[in-house]
Amino acid sequence: MLRQRHRYDVIIMANVKLSSGESFESLLRRFNRQVQEDRILAEVRRRRFYEKPSEQRRRKEAVKRRRSSRCLR
């Protein structure tokens, strides 16, 4: 489920429903897997501190370089 908060911020909410006869442990495992797949914690860590636009640009360029070097192998 996606909800828009501000112009550039998107809140991603992991959502799991309890199946009949399902234990809490398996529900928690599914929830943790969903959070990991949605990369919610990585996004929280990335937004922990303000990142200047020049730093964002530098980080994105580094990702592009890494991806292109993988393709050349």
Under a CB-based contact definition with an 8 Å cutoff, are residues 27 and 44 in contact?
Answer: no
Tokens 């990991």, residue located:
36
Give me the number of domains the chain comprises.
1
Residue 6 has pLDDT above 90, yes or no: no
pLDDT of 4: 47
User: Rounded mean pLDDT of the chain?
Assistant: 84
Whole domain around residue 38: which residue ranges? 2-72
State the burial class of residue 14 (Cβ atoms within 10 Å of its Cβ: 0-12, 13-18, 19+).
middle
Predicted confidence (pLDDT) per residue in 12-39, tens digit = 678 899 999 999 999 999 999 999 988 8
Q: How confident is the model at residue 62 (pLDDT cuts 50, 70, 90)?
A: very high
